Structure 1
Amino acid sequence: MIFDVGLGGIYQSTLEGLRSQGIRKELDKNAFLLLMLTELQHQDPLEPLKNKDLIAQLSQLTALEQIMNMSKAVQEFVEAQQMVNPAQLASLIGKYVVMRSNEISVQNGEAESIVFNLDEPAHVVIRIYDENDNLIREEDLGIVEEGMHAWAWDARNDDGIPVPDGIYKYEVVRVDGTNEEEIGGLEGGVVEAVQIKDGKAYVLVNGNLYPIDSIIEISEPREEG
């Protein structure tokens, strides 16, 4: 709808009144109705609003309401998907899961292996950072074939000094000339427990907590023997 500025600032005053009730980035249904009623009240009696114009504005109102209802439905759907289902979470206990990960732990001077997957051969570099995001170890693996790989960290920094126990961040990087692409690592293990913190779900695997949305594969644990 095109507003006529020749009505002595009526629409401006109406909009200012709406803004005084709270800042809005877009007009809602009530604002639309108020503007249309204002236009009807101040129309020229000698040139009243034509039926086709009124129908056009009512059609805009109907479309606006449909869009608002659709937006509300989508929002409700998203919120429902984000709700934590305790029963579904409990069913994960005892399952073997594979997750995206960028953390590695050192316990009693021993580190876990860093696992990653390549969809094609690539030049790979692994970098490990301490809790202050300082680079403490960089390992150039050279050209690595496609498939799943595990690199065993000796829990030492670039100077060969053992690092303290704790959690460290790492990145697996694919290098192509001067270009780098982070691949990301993988972590796997049996789910020991599930926890909910601040409305978000986590799984306990190998003694560490991982967000449930980092899981990329769920399967039955392999039988040993």
Structure 2
Amino acid sequence: MIFDVGLGGIYQSTLEGLRSQGIRKELDKNAFLLLMLTELQHQDPLEPLKNKDLIAQLSQLTALEQIMNMSKAVQEFVEAQQMVNPAQLASLIGKYVVMRSNEISVQNGEAESIVFNLDEPAHVVIRIYDENDNLIREEDLGIVEEGMHAWAWDARNDDGIPVPDGIYKYEVVRVDGTNEEEIGGLEGGVVEAVQIKDGKAYVLVNGNLYPIDSIIEISEPREE
């Protein structure tokens, strides 16, 4: 008697049964055991599963369980790192922080400066967008030397018309021929408050909220 245990037979029906319980991207431990037991139940009596084959499959099961346990441990570690500690957050108040930023505020017709850092001389272009992602201002700064730089925006668009108060997005781009690379801007100031929204922490700096994971430097404020 010939038994067909290929993917078109018992394996297929077993897999389809597992899929009916919910879509899985890979087999878990229970699914692996079910497949192995199914193979044992339907093996050819004249050619039973050899010991070495059984040991190989059990080794795969052991490896699978170890990987699953490791993945669980990593996930728990990541979740622990993402937990908000109110005491640590409160210690940020009054500190001077530097953050990655791509937003600039216009208040009472005046705009903040856009600050960026270059690790080497580069051709730099700054682009500013409104709330609808429309390009309203493009400034070609030409070749800029290495180091920290600040560009003062006059809060006007390319036509010289003052823009309304609000929050605008910008990008600092390094241009090399036809290639462009976004550098990203920096924002700095004293932390006025800390807020938690939907389990995520934000710092209030210069009247604006920034995700806490955007902070790249923390220091004591300079004395006036």
Give the TM-score normalised by the residue count of structure 1: 0.93
Aligned to 1:17: 17
- Aligned residue pair count: 224
Deviation per residue, 1:8-39 (Å, 9 max, x gap): 82222222221221222211111111111112
Residues 107-132 of structure 1: CA deviation (Å, up to 9, x unaligned): 11111111111111111111111111
Of stretches 211-220 and 121-130 in structure 1, the one that deviates more from structure 2 is: 121-130
Counterpart of 2:57 in structure 1 is: 57
**Post-superposition CA distance 1:138-191 (Å, at most 9, x none):** 111111111111111111112221111111111111112222211111100000
Check 1:73–1:6 CA distance in 2 against 1; reply closer, same or farther (3 A cut): closer
Distance 1:8 1:209 in 2: 57
User: Shift in Å at residue 44 of structure 1?
Assistant: 2.7
Q: CA deviation at 1:3?
A: 11
CA spacing shift, 1:10–1:149, aligned 2, 3 Å: same
- Residue identity over aligned pairs, in percent, reads 100
Q: Does the CA contact (< 8 Å) of 1:3 and 1:11 recur in 2?
A: no
Runs of 4+ more than 4 Å apart: 1-4
Greater displacement, 18-27 / 96-105: 18-27
Tell me whether 1:47 sits opposite 2:47 in the alignment.
yes
Q: Which sits farther off after the overlay, 126-135 or 190-199?
A: 126-135
Calculate the aligned-residue CA RMSD, in Å. Answer: 2.5
Q: What does the per-residue CA deviation read over 1:81-139, in whole Å, with 9 as the maximum and x for residues that have no partner?
A: 11111111111111100001111111111111111111111111111111111111111
Deviates more, 1:39-48 or 1:142-151: 39-48
Q: Deviations over 1:51-85 (max 9, x none)?
A: 22211111111111111111111111111111111
- Residue 50 of structure 1 deviates from its aligned partner by 2.0
2:127 partner SS: strand
2:110–2:155 CA contact under 8 A, matched in 1:
yes
- Native 8 Å contact 2:4 2:10 kept in 1: no
Aligned residue for 1:35, secondary structure, equals: helix
